[in-house]
Amino acid sequence: MPVTDKEVALSERIEAFLAELKRGGSGAGTLRGSGETARETTALLRRITGQAQWSSAGDLMEIIRKEGRRMMATQPSETTVGNMVRRVLKIIREEYARLRGSSEVTDQQESLHQLLTSGGLSEENFGQHFKDLRANVIEAINELLTELEATTDHIAMQALEHIHSNEVIMTIGRSRTVEAFLKDAALKRKFHVIVAECAPFCQGHEMATSLSEAGIETTVIADAAIFAVMSRVNKVIIGTQTVLANGGLRAVNGTHTLALAARHHSTPLIVCAPMFKLSPQFHNEEDTFHKFVSPHEVLPFTEGEILSKVNVYCPVFDYVPPELITLFISNIGGNAPSYTYRLMSELYHPEDHEL
């Protein structure tokens, strides 16, 4: 296929995005939070849909899958990229099915009976060409973008249902979603927040300054004091990096300890996570779950004499099993962790779980 200017421009955009992803992992680039990553990814996918050369839905899906794999390989820990790719693939499937005329309901309801009798739905090859497919898909992606922009507000709107006055709420590290959640509740109610600082990055400090400037009584504690103060805490509200397919979390390190302490004191653990963080991956013991950063955050180079004889670890994430979580609050409402599998089937197609 002849390389057009448009294609060159498109591939430049993709390369720029990948570079941002690689740099943005440490929070230094413009892609600061997962919300922004999700929006940028979706915008890029819309651009690909609009500008790339494709004739049928199958071609488009192939292109998006290829780009998606590249993006996920750049920054494996940033799962929102993969999630958005899967959402767009599902959108394409839906639009194609609508244009073909078959009801969406039967496609979605992949019941066991259908799977056994029809021999699997993968016979569909998406080869037919539809004129309106491009426009429809772009419109649907625009709707997705609107949804993404409003997630934090939708979650924050539910704050008053969960926080009563004179409560002591505990949180860890820094989560923009939780920040918005608490600030929204603080407009009407008075409560106290305890922030665990989450060493070694100490993002809890930023969170505490931001909350206290909004007029919320805040206290900063060291990570070591989480269990000690937990007996006075009424609720634990945390954010997360990813929600796994079984309802567990991949959250900032220290969250598992927090969850265990909450379970010991029978304190409810509430996770504020927008839907784009839901990922079809499972927790496994392999290398892909954990991410490590430079150990000089933990043991600085000034301790030079012993550095060569000591192993130092600085993991970034923690796995929290679903039994420790009480409630998920997302932009579509509150759910129990056991409902996660159902939400996943609404968002992603099972064929897309492995890109």
Partner 1 sequence: MADADETSKQAERNTNVGDGIAVKKQDIARAKNEGKELTKDEKQRLRKEKKQQKKNKKDDKGESEHENVPLPPSQAVVQCQSQKAPSVAPSLALTPVSVCTSEKPAKSKAEQRAERRARQEADRAAKGKKGESAQQPPSGKSKAPPNELQPVVKRLPEHVQVDDPAAVRKLAKKLERQQIPVRSEYGYKVSLFSHLHQYSRKAPLTQQISIPSTVIHPYIVRLGLQYSQGIVAGSNARSIALLHAFQKVIQDYKTPPNEELSRDLVNKLKPYISYLNQCRPLSASMGNAIKYVKKEISNIPCLCKEEEAKKQLLSCIDNYIKEKITLAATTISAYAIEKISNGDVILVYGCSSLVNHILCDAFDKKRKFSVIVVDSRPRLEGREALRRLVKKGICCTYVLISAVSYILPEVSKVFLGAHALLANGYVMSRVGTSQIALVAKAYNVPVLVCCETYKFCERVQTDSFVSNELDDPDDLMVTRKGKIHLENWQDIRQLGLLNLVYDVTPPDFVDLVITDLGMIPCTSVPVVLRVKNVDQ
Is residue 260 close enough to count as binding partner 1 by CB under 8 A? yes
Residue of the chain from 66, 129, 188, 232 that contacts partner 1 (CB under 8 A): 232
Is residue 293 close enough to count as binding partner 1 by CB under 8 A? no
Is residue 104 close enough to count as binding partner 1 by CB under 8 A? no
Name the region of 282 (left: φ>0; alpha: ψ -120 to 50; beta: rest). beta
Torsion sign over Cα 248, 252, 253, 259 = negative
Angle at 351 between CA 63 and CA 20, to 5 degrees: 45
Is residue 200 close enough to count as binding partner 1 by CB under 8 A? yes
Which distant-in-sequence residues (6+ apart) come within 8 Å of 67 by Cβ?
Answer: 14, 45, 48, 85
Nearest-angstrom CA–CA distance, 210 and 36:
20
Residue of the chain from 133, 137, 148, 226 that contacts partner 1 (CB under 8 A): 226
Is residue 299 close enough to count as binding partner 1 by CB under 8 A? yes
Helix or strand holding residue 272 (H, E): strand 269-272
Is residue 215 close enough to count as binding partner 1 by CB under 8 A? yes
CA-based diameter of the chain, in Å?
72
Residue of the chain from 231, 284, 288, 338 that contacts partner 1 (CB under 8 A): 231
Q: How many amino acids of this chain bind partner 1 (CB under 8 A)? A: 51
Helix or strand holding residue 169 (H, E): strand 168-172
Q: Which is nearer to partner 1, 118 or 284 (CB)?
A: 284
Name the region of 146 (left: φ>0; alpha: ψ -120 to 50; beta: rest). alpha
Q: Which is nearer to partner 1, 18 or 324 (CB)?
A: 324
Is residue 187 close enough to count as binding partner 1 by CB under 8 A? no
- Residue 335: exposed, middle, or buried by beta-carbon count in 10 A (0-12, 13-18, 19+)? middle
Is residue 322 close enough to count as binding partner 1 by CB under 8 A? no
Residue of the chain from 182, 208, 236, 343 that contacts partner 1 (CB under 8 A): 208
Q: How far is the CB of 170 from partner 1 (least distance, A)?
A: 12
Nearest-angstrom CA–CA distance, 22 and 19:
5
Is residue 306 close enough to count as binding partner 1 by CB under 8 A? yes
Contact 57, 145 (CB under 8 A): no
Is residue 26 close enough to count as binding partner 1 by CB under 8 A? no
Point out which span in 2-10, 93-101, 127-135, 311-319 binds partner 1 (CB under 8 A).
Answer: 311-319
Which distant-in-sequence residues (6+ apart) come within 8 Å of 209 by Cβ?
Answer: none
Contact 206, 180 (CB under 8 A): no
| Residue the block writes with tokens 């002849």 | 2
Residue of the chain from 95, 179, 197, 352 that contacts partner 1 (CB under 8 A): 197
Helix or strand holding residue 269 (H, E): strand 269-272
Residue of the chain from 96, 201, 276, 328 that contacts partner 1 (CB under 8 A): 201
Point out which span in 51-59, 80-88, 153-161, 308-316 binds partner 1 (CB under 8 A).
Answer: 308-316
Q: How far is the CB of 82 from partner 1 (least distance, A)?
A: 23
Residue of the chain from 24, 254, 274, 280 that contacts partner 1 (CB under 8 A): 254
Q: How far is the CB of 263 from partner 1 (least distance, A)?
A: 9
Which distant-in-sequence residues (6+ apart) come within 8 Å of 239 by Cβ?
Answer: 171, 173, 175, 176, 177, 178, 251, 271, 272, 273
Q: Interface with partner 1 by CB under 8 A: which residues?
A: 197-202, 205-206, 208-209, 212-213, 215-229, 231-232, 253-254, 256-257, 260-261, 264, 290, 298-299, 303, 305-306, 309-315, 318-319
